[in-house]
Amino acid sequence: MHGDGRLPLVVGGTGLYIRTLAYGLWEGPPADWDLRRHWLAEEAAQGEGYLWKQLAQRDPRLAATIHPRDRNKIVRGLEVAVLTGKPLSEWHRSHGFLERPFPSVMVGLMMDRAALYRRIDTRVRREIEDGLIEETQRLLDRGYGEHLGSMKALGYRQITGYLKGRYRYEEAVHRLQRDTRHFAKRQMTWFRGDPNVHWLTLNEEESGEHVAHRVLEYLEHQGIPGASRVA
C-alpha cells in the first residue's frame, strides 16, 4: 500500500493486536503444554473462574485486561509468570513496545459511558435482527462445536446458549449486551494506558461519516501524507 501511495488504516482490533502491529511484540518463552494441561485440569476441578483468580494474584495488571472466560490468554499469563518468575505485564513494560517498524498515529474514540452503553445495547439487537441467530445455527449444524475458541466469541457464545436451551431469548440478548459492555470497558482500560493514543470525544448523535471526517482532519493536522485522499 505504501508503494502505491495509499495510506493504510487499521480500524478496530484487539489492544494487543494493535500494539504488536505498531510497536512490535515481546515473544516470550515457548508454550509448555504439560503446564497448560495442569492449569486446565485445575480449572476443571476448582470451577470456572479459578484460573482468572490465580492470574489476578500473580499479575493483576494483566488480569484486568482479560475476560475471566478467556482461557487462552489467562493460561498464557500464568505460563509466563511460572516459567520466567516475572509477570507478563512486567515483560511487556520492560520490552517497552518501542520497535516502531513504521510511523503510525493512533486515534481513539470515546463518548459518555451511558451513551456508549445505549449504543451497544441497540447494536446487539440490530445484529440479532440481521441474522445472528441463524448464522450461529448454521455453524452449529456444520459441526462447529461450542468448545471451539471461535464459537466462544461475543455473540456466538450467548446465542449458542439460547439455541441449546440453557436460557431464553431475552436472557440471551441481555447476556450479549452485558458481555459486550464489559468488553468495551476492558478495551478502554487497555487503550487508555497507551500515551500515544489521541482521543476524540464523540456525541451520541454523530454519524459515522462525521466521525470519519474528524479523524481524517486530525491526521491531516498531524502531517500524515495521503490523509486527504483516504475518503
Model pTM? 0.69
End-to-end C-alpha distance for the chain, whole angstroms: 15
Which residues are paired to 197 by β-bridges? Answer: 106
Residues near 219 by beta carbon (within 8 Å), at least 6 away in sequence: 7, 105, 107, 227, 230
Q: In this structure, are 141 and 44 located in the same domain?
A: no
CATH number at residue 73: 1.10.20.140
Higher-scoring residue by pLDDT: 103, 229: 103
User: Which stretch of 4-18, 30-44, 184-198 has the lowest confidence by average pLDDT?
Assistant: 4-18
What would the pLDDT profile of 117-163 be if each residue is shown by its tens digit? 999 999 999 999 999 999 999 999 999 998 888 898 999 999 999 99
Q: In this structure, are 90 and 127 located in the same domain?
A: no
Neighbour-count burial of 33, counting CB atoms closer than 10 A to its CB (0-12 exposed, 13-18 middle, 19+ buried): exposed
Q: In this structure, are 68 and 173 located in the same domain?
A: no
Domain end position, chosen among 46, 74, 95: 95
pLDDT of residue 231: 47
CA distances from 44 to 41, 67, 70, 73 (A): 5, 18, 14, 17
d(CA 196, CA 13): 17
Which amino acid, 79?
E
What would the pLDDT profile of 46-88 be if each residue is shown by its tens digit? 998 999 999 999 999 999 988 888 888 999 999 999 999 999 9
Q: In this structure, are 115 and 167 located in the same domain?
A: yes
pLDDT of residue 202: 92
pLDDT of residue 223: 80
pLDDT of residue 19: 80
| Domains contained in the chain, number | 2
Kindly report the number of other CB atoms within 10 A of residue 92's CB atom: 19
Q: In this structure, are 126 and 211 located in the same domain?
A: yes
CATH number at residue 168: 1.10.287.890
Mean pLDDT value of segment 91-104: 71
> Residue 225 — very low, low, confident or very high, per pLDDT cuts 50/70/90?
low
Domain end position, chosen among 95, 121, 149: 95
Q: In this structure, are 58 and 142 located in the same domain?
A: no
Q: Residue 168: pLDDT above 50?
A: yes
> Residue 99 — very low, low, confident or very high, per pLDDT cuts 50/70/90?
low
Q: In this structure, are 128 and 195 located in the same domain?
A: yes
Is residue 14 in a domain? no
Percent of the chain predicted with pLDDT > 70: 93
Q: In this structure, are 163 and 215 located in the same domain?
A: yes
Q: In this structure, are 56 and 114 located in the same domain?
A: no
Domain range enclosing 49: 26-95
Is residue 71 in a domain? yes
> Taking all residues of the chain, what is their mean pLDDT, rounded to a whole number?
88
Q: In this structure, are 221 and 138 located in the same domain?
A: yes
Q: In this structure, are 114 and 166 located in the same domain?
A: yes
CA distances from 140 to 133, 157, 201 (A): 11, 11, 40
Q: Residue 94: pLDDT above 80?
A: no
